Amino acid sequence: MRSIGRPLVQLGSLRLRPALAHSCHAWPAVRHVGATAWTRTYADAKLDLPALDAKWRQKWAALPETACETSSGAKDKYVLPMFPYPSGYLHLGHLRVYTIADVVARYHALQGHNVLLPMGWDAFGLPAENAAIERGVNPAAWTRANIAKMKEQLGLMNGSWDWSRELATCDPSFYKHTQKIFLLLLEKGLAYQAEAEVNYDPVDKTVLANEQVDANGCSWRSGAKVEKRKLKQWFLRISAFQESLLRDLEVLAKDGAWPERVLAMQKNWLGKSTGATIKFPIMAFEHGMHAAIEVFTTRPDTLFGVQYLALASTHPVVAQLAERDPELQAFLDTLPGLPPDSKLGYLLPHIRAINPLAYHADTPEATKQSIPVYVAPYVIGDYGEGAVMGVPGHDVRDHAFWKTHHFDEPVRFVLAGSEDESTTAMFNDPFVDHGIMTEHGGPYKGKPSKEVGQMLVAMLQQAGLAQPVEKWRLRDWLISRQRYWGTPIPVVHCDSCGAVPVPDEQLPVVLPEVDAHWAGKKTGNPLETLEDWVNTSCPKCGGPAKRDTDTMDTFVDSSWYYMRFIDPHNQDAPFSPEKAASMLPVDLYIGGVEHAILHLLYARFIYKFLMTSSLAPGNGESSDPLVHEPFQRLITQGMVHGRTFSDPSTGRFLKADEVDLSDPARPKVIATGETATVSYEKMSKSKHNGVDPTDVIAQHGADATRAHMLFQAPVSEVLDWDGDKIVGVTRWLGRVYELVQKLGPAAADADVAETPRSYFEAAAHRLSSLSTEEQARWDADVALWRCVQKTIASVAASYEKVYALNTVVSDLMALTNAIQERAGAASGLVQRHAVLALLRMMAPITPAFAEECWSLLGMQPAAGGGGGSMFRGAGRARFPGLDGTLELELLQPRMQSCAVQVNGKLRAVVQIPTPNGLAGDELRAWIVAEILKTEEGRAKLANGSVDVTRAKKVIVIRDGKLVNFVF
């Protein structure tokens, strides 16, 4: 395991952070932690964690539901994990994110907050429809069955979900409001229809947004090679919000609210560039052609170094020439099979381009020469102008392309890192930074390139050959899908009136039943063939009209579902302004980094729009950027990888029954006897490394599984799942259970009512008269309670950070050790309060176990009859807080560890009193005397070969925590 901030010390099966371990334990006692500490005890044998899960889930279910808002209506805590797609089963990745969410929610509940932790289902989408076609069943029935199965699985993990707010995006009561939001966008001109070249998936038979096509030009869902088609499609004008989407990333960066890499991914996807469009005049031979090709560039300072132009396959010039050039058309036909960074290119034989600087008398002759024009797959058609000015000397891709096609021709370098060009004396690689213009810059030689770029644009602008512009990589969001299982687009098309919105009173436009389509296992969109559904009347003129047969991209549903949770039963609107004011934005949003661009960007856009609409509090007039961001804090958890076995000879992944695990340290391939290769890989059926979380929970209990899940790795890192190690957590829980059983219910109210602080303060006046036995008890009480207080501070900080939840478990294990070690020495009152604090800190992670122990200690009498809980109701517990005892002078440790060195080598560690204000020679003499008073000190440091009283020099470090005797 890797810890956050501090390394871990391995002690048997325990993992302790050194700083905390030192504060909680005397090291001689800790040395015995290991096999003996983990010996199965009588209490451990009686502890049945799965049975406790079932018992407390039943008791929680019997408790009345509580509202998530405070009585004043003020916003409290809204914790939300990304809702799941109902695929039919939960995997360990689900278990991890939902454990994190529930733990954080329970922690805030114990802090006294009212917490909203809802759950719902991202229920539309292609997998359900493809499953319907494959199985011949209705996708709604398939989805509902999967939801029931996954809800049952979620119920096994001891979560605290508010099921009264459950939603499914395929429910008409939900997508009615998705349609309302679409019509609001349409009303404001932010939804529109346009004919465009689109990405078409020939397997799933639907359009994909650019974001749903991978770097190899394949569909993110089916893996099929995407085709380009021209279709009339619906778009959402996300570009209208691009400035605020970019600007407000700075707000989300404050105090690390969002991960840096997510912010960087969003910024790169928005892709704001400041530069200029520059016209390159065209020389065409026997072809009617454009007068010029426009190029967008962010580096006008490299204009003297342009040696070719490259056009995208979709550029109008290319389309025009391809009509008469069969070789060009043949090249274009090969492009779908090429990678985007391919260096192949097609030289257009009948045109040349002229650098616009060629018209300036002082321009060097090399720049005045006409340049070739290529069609190149690395040029993106929908960015800039679909054309690139090739500058081999100052761009890596351009350099590679030029060397592929002109390997024997020189590269022109027009700027260098210094005025004498010494930094670029060997012109082998492109110089991509800004610098100083070289002799190839003509009259601008020696000038800073940034300044020259501005001058060139200004000069060309006067001649009508350039224009300063801003460009964005972001494109409007294409939401049309030619599939059935999605939210119908609420528009009818009339020959007289055009596209007409469906009136509010006719919403929702409900998906019709098409059972015959599924029974026949037909592909394609059945909505297109349902004449009774398609043919309707125009709401505007009453004439004949047709419904839109496209459905919405499922990302539209997930862009606003978190807002529906705050007001899930509102029939008239997606949510009320009052609920939005009190409960939005989401305080803590938890999910995978794979959603960093698509889902999060779309959610930010829709939220920004709705918070400026009539649905927003105050009609959206707030100027606070936080009001216009949906998720105040974002937590991205790492993936869960499974232990994977493969044959070392063939590399083939092995099934469980192909591996001999009789010796877990050396798994063998049964067929060959060879030692199997063990690795941790992303879980998949092909690698035979998947783990069913319900099987783990059935064997070890939900609480042990949750604790193990958190303990194995920091939240943000990949978790290498090893279920064999859960036994370490169950043994820890067994030791806590044993402590609780030994304490039993409080003998009297005073045992709990009196606080450790009041106990210490009351006993302070008797310190000087304590007997040796009483002093020993006082020392044990002080050491234990200081450990409790330090653990509270550390654990609370880790719960707040979230990413450090693994250290919560290690800290609580350390505190358990400290309580056990002082069980016979500390007073009953301090022991009881230490255990009560331990249980309250454990409760968010192991809720059923903590509830059981809490009731065994008599802290929740109502719980025995099903009427109370640590988390809700009159008996609600509170997370322990610091009581100020760490600062009390009387609770400073009376004894301290002193490491004794002789000539720099450690000889002994002894316990001596804490020096009180001594310094210099007086401190040294006192420490030597105290060391020699101890039994170990006398044995090792006064007799035999070492006598520290004869040392030439005594060096005291950190008030006596380290002493070095120099001979």
What is 893-966's CATH number? 3.10.20.590
> Distance between CA atoms of 164 and 371, rounded to whole angstroms?
69
Other CB atoms within 10 Å distance of the CB of residue 950: 8
Separation between Cα atoms, residue 162 and residue 321, nearest integer Å: 63
The distance of Cα 58 from the centroid of its chain, to the nearest Å, equals: 33
126-135 helix and 139-155 helix, angle to the nearest 10 degrees = 120
Q: Are 378 and 310 in contact (CB under 8 A)?
A: yes
**What pLDDT, on the 0 to 100 scale, is given for residue 38?**
36
- Nearest 5°: the CA angle 795, 798, 802 is 140
d(CA 617, CA 422): 62
Report DSSP state, residue 382: T
- pLDDT at residue 16, as a whole number: 34
How far the first Cα of the chain sits from its last, in Å, is 43
Per DSSP, 948 falls in state G
* CA–CA distances in Å: residue 195 to residues 122, 230, 231, 454, 813: 29, 7, 5, 37, 63
Distances (CA, A) of 597 to 229, 266, 681, 803: 25, 6, 24, 21
Judge contact between 377 and 384, C-beta under 8 A: no
Residue 65 DSSP label:
P
| Whole-angstrom Cα Rg for the chain | 36
Which residues, other chains included, contact 811 with Cβ-Cβ below 8 Å and sequence gap of 6+? 17, 20, 791, 794, 795, 798
Sequence letter at residue 580: A
Indicate yes or no: pTM above 0.75. yes
Residue whose C-alpha is closest to residue 472's, from 238, 748, 197, 713:
238
Q: Output the pLDDT for position 535.
A: 96
Considering the chain, tell me which residue range(s) the CATH 3.10.20.590 domain(s) occupy. Answer: 893-966
Low-confidence ranges of the chain (pLDDT < 70): 1-45, 65-75, 209-211, 215, 221, 286-290, 340, 420-427, 619-626, 746-753, 860-867, 943-945
Kindly state the DSSP code that residue 763 receives in the 8-state scheme: H
What element of type H or E holds 230?
Answer: strand 227-236
Determine the pLDDT at residue 881. Answer: 94
- List Cα–Cα distances, 855 to 93, 402, 531, 878, in angstroms: 33, 77, 65, 15
In 3D space, the residue among 288, 357, 338, 348 whose CA is nearest the CA of residue 318 turns out to be 348
d(CA 256, CA 258): 5
Q: How far is residue 851's CA from residue 871's CA, in Å, rounded to a whole number?
A: 9
Contacts within 8 Å (CB) and 24+ apart, 649-657: 649/674, 653/686, 653/687, 653/688, 653/689, 654/688, 655/688, 656/688
Q: Using an 8 Å Cβ cutoff, are 200 and 208 in contact?
A: yes
CA distance 144 to 125: 13
| H or E stretch at 622 | none
The string over 52-90, giving b where at least 16 C-beta atoms fall within 10 Å of a residue's C-beta and e elsewhere, is: bbeebbebbeeeeeeebbeeeeebbbbbbbbbbbbbbeb
d(CA 271, CA 515) in angstroms, rounded, equals: 45
- Whole-number Å distance between alpha carbons of 43 and 820: 14
Q: For residue 165, count other CB atoms closer than 10 A to its CB.
A: 18
Class of domain 174-240+476-555: alpha beta
Domain with CATH 3.90.740.10 in the chain: 274-469
Contacts of 458 (CB under 8 A, 6+ apart): none
Architecture of domain 720-889: Orthogonal Bundle (1.10)
User: Range(s) for CATH 3.40.50.620 in the chain?
Assistant: 174-240+476-555
Strand, helix or coil for residue 858: coil
Q: How many CA atoms lie within 13 A of 407 on its CB side?
A: 2
* Other beta carbons less than 10 A from residue 878's beta carbon: 11
**Second-level CATH architecture of 274-469:** Alpha-Beta Complex (3.90)
CA-CA distance, 630 to 611, in Å (whole number)? Answer: 9
Cβ 198 vs Cβ 231: under 8 Å:
yes
